[in-house]
Amino acid sequence: MDKFTKLTGTAAPMPLVNIDTDMIIPKVFLKTIKRSGLGVNLFDEMRYDREGNEIEDFVLNKPQYRDAQIIVAGDNFGCGSSREHAPWALLDFGIRCVISTSFADIFYNNCFKNGILPIVVSPEDHAKLMDDAERGSNATLTVDLEAQTITGPDGGEVAFEVDAHKKHCLLNGLDDIGLTMEKAPSIDAFEAQHSADRPWV
């Protein structure tokens, strides 16, 4: 998993509340177990019409937001079913950070396990960041995980909280497997001792 330290990128405004995981990646695209290739279908039913043509007024289809790496989203982002394909699709599109006033718990935790930083902010700070995101080509935010700050295009700064363990994992690019592999020397030593103590096993 790629490390997350500091990210400077375009922030796309998505003020709609209760964006669920089926809106993020519709169930028809859940046939794969690969983490790549889902970005093209991110927000599929909002991005494309029934003929597969782009819907011009959808935010990620607008020229200034096509390369967005950050989403400033409405409340309760990622609700609905617990599909891990949702963060996979966001990451494959290029989204590394989602900012909201609240997230569904399972989606929130899945983001950390896939290299995406979900940030919870107060309604007041959210309003400021949404205003920043609505600036189009000037909608640039800098997210510093080490300092736990978000800096807007005018230099205004918002602080955020994050669990210390989750922060450690993102800063070091550690998913669940990576965390286990950190213990590899201890695991090897245990297995060697176990074999010596119980050679008949």
Look at residue 179 and tell me if it is in a domain: yes
pLDDT tens for residues 114-168? Answer: 999 999 999 999 999 999 999 988 899 999 999 999 999 999 999 999 999 999 9
Residue 37 in domain? yes
**What are 29-73's pLDDT values in tens digits?**
998 888 889 999 999 999 999 999 999 999 999 999 999 999 999
Other Cβ atoms less than 10 A from the Cβ of 143: the count is: 25
CATH number of the domain encompassing residue 37: 3.20.19.10
Domain assignment present for residue 128? The answer is yes
Tell whether 139 is covered by a domain.
Answer: yes
Q: How far apart are CA 73 and CA 178, in angstroms?
A: 29
This model's pTM is above 0.85:
yes
CA angle 168, 169, 173 (to 5 degrees): 120
Q: Which domain holds residue 167?
A: 6-197
> For residue 177, what pLDDT is reported?
65
Dihedral, 166, 182, 4, 96 alpha carbons, nearest 10: -70
How many domains is the chain partitioned into structurally?
Answer: 1
Asked whether residue 1 is assigned to any structural domain, the reply reads no
Decide if 149 is inside a domain.
Answer: yes
- Judge contact between 101 and 122, C-beta under 8 A: yes
- 64, part of any domain: yes
